[in-house]
Amino acid sequence: MQSISLAYRQLNALILGKPLQIRLALTCVLAGGHLLIEDVPGVGKTTLAHALAGVLGLDYRRVQFTSDLLPADMLGVSLFRPDEGRFEFQPGPVFSQLLLADEINRASPKVQSALLEAMEERQVSIDGRTHALPKPFFVIATQNPDGQLGTFPLPESQLDRFLMRISLGYPSPESERALLLAGDRRQALSALPAALNAGELLALQQKATQITVSSALAEYVLALLLASRKRELFMHGLSPRAGLAVLAAARAWAMLNGRDHVLPEDVKAVFVAVCAHRLQSRLPGMNSIDAAQRLLDHVPLA
């Protein structure tokens, strides 16, 4: 636990004025889920992803997604070795503990599918042979909001492979002033010491699953799910998978806050990040984030 709060402090020192998003990102990692960071260019998406990889002490690779990227560029290829007379598998960048998928929505649907399959199965099948991905395995994907030219928006069915979606947003004036005076953060990034290693992270993830969820809390999450299906806020209600995702994230959040049981406030803290990208608002002039928040504001705790 010491190490995780150290990681939190380090990240906060690097990315100014975004403690909530950093906490959510760490929660996502502790819950063993993939993270989607969505925002306009230049607000520090990639920096956050790099920094996460750095402080977690993971082996990471970065793939810049473009429209001409092929699945093999990411997954790897089998090369023929004439001297040895056999094929040898050359693993692609996906075989890393942390894959940074930059601008995921610029890649063709084919590549997106390949990546999302790897995320779900945590293994890759090439030429009839299955290659397990390393443990832990995370994807942190960034994407620009839809509507930009040359993008392939991820379909909803693939969006829900990501445990959370967060946006950074513009920094506050104070943070931005500090940023302007301190200069480019990429320098600091390379100097970032690792606060954890892969083994410790796996242990923490294991610990997070042990956090207590009482029947009353399960009732509360159930009430949220049911309300999302009944109310007229959304096109479709939340799936059972979304419910499990909320609980997993809430457990990690509770652990980050040093508790051994989940409280409704943990659920509320992670709910929008976990659920907004799985929902479509029905109400005119209200996006799914606002609608999810509205749902939280109206479902009683008891």
Please give the residue ranges that form the binding site for other proteins (CB under 8 A): 212, 214-217, 229-233, 260-265, 268, 284, 294, 296-302
Helix (H) or strand (E) holding 40: none
Q: Which is nearer to other proteins, 173 or 284 (CB)?
A: 284
Q: Which is nearer to other proteins, 122 or 298 (CB)?
A: 298
Torsions phi, psi of 164, nearest 5?
-135, 155
Q: Output the smallest distance, CB 81 to other proteins, in A.
A: 57
Q: Which residue carries 């290829």 as its tokens?
A: 77
Q: Which is nearer to other proteins, 24 or 217 (CB)?
A: 217
Cβ(185)–Cβ(179) below 8 Å? yes
Q: Output the smallest distance, CB 281 to other proteins, in A.
A: 13
Torsions phi, psi of 132, nearest 5?
-75, 145
State how far Cα 111 lies from the chain centre.
18
> d(Cα 219, Cα 113) in Å, to the nearest integer?
35
> d(Cα 35, Cα 33) in Å, to the nearest integer?
6
State how far Cα 164 lies from the chain centre.
5
Q: Output the smallest distance, CB 287 to other proteins, in A.
A: 17
Q: Output the smallest distance, CB 247 to other proteins, in A.
A: 13
Q: Which is nearer to other proteins, 186 or 261 (CB)?
A: 261
User: Cα–Cα distances in Å, from 54 out to 24, 97, 219?
Assistant: 17, 12, 38
> d(Cα 18, Cα 11) in Å, to the nearest integer?
9
> d(Cα 213, Cα 261) in Å, to the nearest integer?
6
Q: Which is nearer to other proteins, 61 or 259 (CB)?
A: 259
The token duo for 136 is: 């832990």
Torsion angle in degrees (nearest 10) through CA of 175, 178, 180, 184: -100
Q: Output the smallest distance, CB 274 to other proteins, in A.
A: 17
Q: Output the smallest distance, CB 282 to other proteins, in A.
A: 9
Q: Output the smallest distance, CB 249 to other proteins, in A.
A: 16
Q: Which is nearer to other proteins, 52 or 255 (CB)?
A: 255
Q: Which is nearer to other proteins, 141 or 224 (CB)?
A: 224
CB atoms near residue 289 (< 10 Å): 17
